[in-house]
Amino acid sequence: MPQYILALDQGTTSSRAILFDRKGRIVAQAQKEFTQFFPKPGWVEHDPQEIWSTQAGVAAEATVKAGQNGRSIAALGITNQRETVVVWNRKTGKPVYNAIVWQDRRTAAFCDQLRTEGREEGIREKTGLLLDAYFSASKVRWILDNVRGARRKAEAGQLAFGTIDSWLIWNFTQGELHITDVSNASRTMLFNIHTLQWDDELLALFDIPRSMLPEVRSSSEVYGHTKTTVFASKIPLAGIAGDQQAALFGQHCSEPGMVKSTYGTGCFLLMNTGTTPVPSRNKLLTTVAWQLNGQVHYALEGSIFMAGAVVQWVRDNLGIIKTAAEIEALARQVSGTGGVYFVPAFAGLGAPHWDPYARGTLLGMSRATTAAHIARASLEAIAFQTMDVLEAMKTDSGLPIAELRVDGGASANNLLMQFQADILHTTVIRPRILESTALGAAYLAGLAVGYWASPDDIQSTGQLGKVFKPKAGLTATTEGIDGWHRAVRAVRAWSQDG
């Protein structure tokens, strides 16, 4: 059996490739950023060819860096930014338009129209998703309606649609495979998460021909092999999952009630809810986590728009720190925020509020307020937002949360992680390898080819980094939490009043 698993993590801002060994250790990695296009306010696009070329490039680079070649790779796992849409011509393999990225808001008005027509509840029941421009369906429709000749060609069966996983696999196999996995399919708003099938009513609602869709497969199986474009040998393509679901798997959250939070630009929290989908009454998403060995696991998901991005804003717009990491030392200069709260609703508020009109606000300042208080309030805001999502998860699932597993760039901040543990009264666990997303894709691929024998086998590869136990007493945190909720109410009242 070859020695390594290669995980490809195609993210929103960069393409990454990581080579893992049997102990789940990183052997080599490569990363390349690619161009972000903002053709109009609220529009975000990527060039699908650049996504493919950067991803293929880093796959080769990581392998060469390790002094290896394709023959040393037992399997390839793919994980990706989700919801982003590519439509391409089946014959030429050329995209008919740029990829429309999950962040793109151009179809918001169409989604509002569907809401007015009373479609929201039906969509939610079938897909587990909130009616929003975030998901793929309205973006595919936009391409068919706005790219000349696209609808005619789609109806003639000449066009293919895929999320980024499909696009990469199509290219790796030179058009032999047009597939996706259940976790990616569950983000399209065209997939019934109960029957695990594309849904004809939804396809009709969004006016998308069924012939465009990829075949839906499990998250861990040998789908096929790479053709000899990037590697001289054929490598099994054996794992696919959306990046947040892959991180849940990579964090070993295999049992109901286990939760991970990825503290990147925003925060994505996912809770494993077991083998039945749990509907949300608190504006969380119900989504497929993965399908493995014939069994589907579901998750509840909540996203926060501004997490690490708050720190970037403090760095770039306030200029009170030079690097993101410096915020910790600045915030440590004070023992509390001195009554300051920062609600970073720069782009509205995500889960559990979904308030697009709320705006960023600093409250409770006095003449004594310093940069250190604001730095501390910024970090606390990340933790408070996370707490609100976890509360919603607890209520929706009825499951207790024994611990929170964390990863992503901002989880490196010890002050933030300790504060998180304190306000949750829950242990926060940070693994040694923060690349949980890539690790999850590697596990899924490795399990499919017997590189790891069973899910139990991968449990032993998890490496603990740091454990944050709650230290602060209940009364100390209750006061802060009440203040936060008052601050959020004030911010929402201000925007609703306008």
Ligand X SMILES: O=P(O)(O)OC[C@H](O)CO
Ligand Y SMILES: Nc1ncnc2c1ncn2[C@@H]1O[C@H](COP(=O)(O)OP(=O)(O)O)[C@@H](O)[C@H]1O
Indicate the annotated binding residues for ADP.
12, 16, 265, 308, 409, 413
Q: Does 472 bind ligand Y (CB under 6 A)?
A: no
Q: Is 248 exposed, middle or buried (0-12, 13-18, 19+ CB in 10 A)?
A: buried
Question: Contact with ligand Y (CB under 6 A): which of 312, 370, 395, 477?
Answer: 312
Cα 419 to Cα 175: distance, rounded to the nearest angstrom: 49
CA dist 98 and 75 (Å) reads 29
Distance, CA of 399 to CA of 130 (rounded, Å): 22
CB under 8 Å to 402, separation ≥6 — which residues? Answer: 257, 258, 426, 427
Q: Which of 250, 257, 264, 350 binds ligand Y (CB under 6 A)?
A: 264
Is omega for the bond preceding 352 within 30 degrees of 0, making it cis? yes
Region from 87-95, 323-331, 354-362, 389-397 binding ligand Y, contact rule CB under 6 A? 323-331
DSSP β-bridge partners for residue 20: 5, 26
Q: Tell me which stretch binds ligand X (CB under 6 A): 177-185, 205-213, 239-247, 444-452.
A: 239-247
Phi, psi of 197 (to 5 degrees): -130, 155
CA distance linking residue 153 with residue 138, whole number of Å:
18
Least distance (Å) from ligand X to the CB of residue 148?
29
Q: Does 413 bind ligand Y (CB under 6 A)?
A: yes
DSSP 387-440: HHHHHHHHHHH-----EEEEESGGGG-HHHHHHHHHHHTSEEEEES---HHHHH
* Least distance to ligand X, CB of residue 81, Å: 4
Q: Least distance to ligand Y from the beta carbon of 33, Å?
A: 10
83 binds, among ligand X, ligand Y, none (CB under 5 to 8 A by kind): ligand X
DSSP category for residue 35: -
How far is Cα 58 from Cα 46, in angstroms, rounded to an integer?
17
Q: Where are the alpha helices (DSSP H) in 150-280?
A: 150-155, 164-172, 182-185, 200-205, 243-250
Query: Which of ligand X, ligand Y, none does residue 309 bind to, with CB < 5 to 8 Å depending on kind?
Result: ligand Y
Backbone angles phi, psi at 439, to 5 degrees: -60, -40
Cβ distance to ligand X smaller for residue 264 or 470:
264
CB-closest chain residue to ligand Y: 409
Question: Smallest distance from the beta carbon of 111 to ligand Y, in angstroms?
Answer: 24
Among all chains, which residue has been given the structure tokens 């973006």? 139
Stretch that binds ligand X, among 80-88, 286-294, 382-390, 474-482 (CB under 6 A): 80-88
Of 45, 83, 221, 380, the one binding ligand X by CB under 6 A: 83
Distance of alpha carbon 91 from the chain centroid = 31
Q: What tokens were used for 103?
A: 């962040």
Task: Indicate which single residue of 122, 409, 455, 465 sits in contact with ligand Y (rule: CB under 6 A).
Answer: 409
Total residues interacting with ligand Y, rule: CB under 6 A: 17
Partner in contact with 440, chosen from ligand Y, ligand X, none, beta carbon below 5 to 8 Å by kind? none
| Amino acid sitting at position 319 | G
- Which of ligand Y, ligand X, none does residue 376 bind (CB under 5 to 8 Å by kind)? none
Contact between 250 and ligand Y by CB under 6 A: the answer reads no
Of the two residues 90 and 105, which places its CB atom closer to ligand X in the complex? 105
- 95 secondary structure, DSSP code: B
- Residue 183 lies near ligand X (rule: CB under 6 A): no
- Give the residue numbers of the binding site for sn-glycerol 3-phosphate: 12, 82-83, 134, 243
Binding site residue list for ATP? 12-14, 265, 308, 312, 409
181 sits near ligand X (criterion: CB under 6 A)? no
Establish if 347 lies at the interface with ligand Y (CB under 6 A).
no
| β-sheet bridge partners, residue 361 | 343
The answer for residues whose C-beta is within 8 angstroms of residue 375's C-beta and 6 or more apart is 314, 320, 321, 327, 330, 331
- Select the span of 123-131, 185-193, 320-328, 481-489 touching ligand Y (CB under 6 A): 320-328
Is residue 81 a contact residue for ligand X (CB under 6 A)?
yes
82 binds, among ligand Y, ligand X, none (CB under 5 to 8 A by kind): ligand X
Closest distance of CB 411 from ligand Y, Å = 8
Asked if 410 and 314 count as a contact pair (C-beta separation under 8 A), the reply is no
- 267, containing H or E segment: strand 267-274
Q: Is 453 helix (H, G, I), strand (E, B) or coil?
A: coil
Interface with ligand Y, residue 408, by CB under 6 A: yes
| Residues 260-289 within binding reach of ligand X (CB under 6 A) | 264
Asked whether position 265 contacts ligand Y by CB under 6 A, the answer is yes
Q: How far is the CB of 456 from ligand X (least distance, A)?
A: 28
- Of ligand Y, ligand X, none, which one sits near residue 26, judging by CB under 5 to 8 A according to partner kind? none
Among candidate residues 86, 110, 107, 111, the one with its CA nearest the CA of residue 168: 86
Q: Choose among ligand Y, ligand X, none what residue 413 binds, the Cβ cut-off being 5 to 8 Å by kind.
A: ligand Y
Query: Under rule CB under 6 A, which residues in 87-126 are in contact with ligand X?
Result: 102
Residue 243 contact partner, candidates ligand Y, ligand X, none, CB within 5 to 8 A by sort of partner: ligand X
Chain residues in the site for ligand X (CB under 6 A): 11-12, 81-83, 102, 242-244, 264
Chain residues in the site for ligand Y (CB under 6 A): 11, 13, 264-265, 308-309, 311-312, 324-325, 327-328, 408-410, 412-413
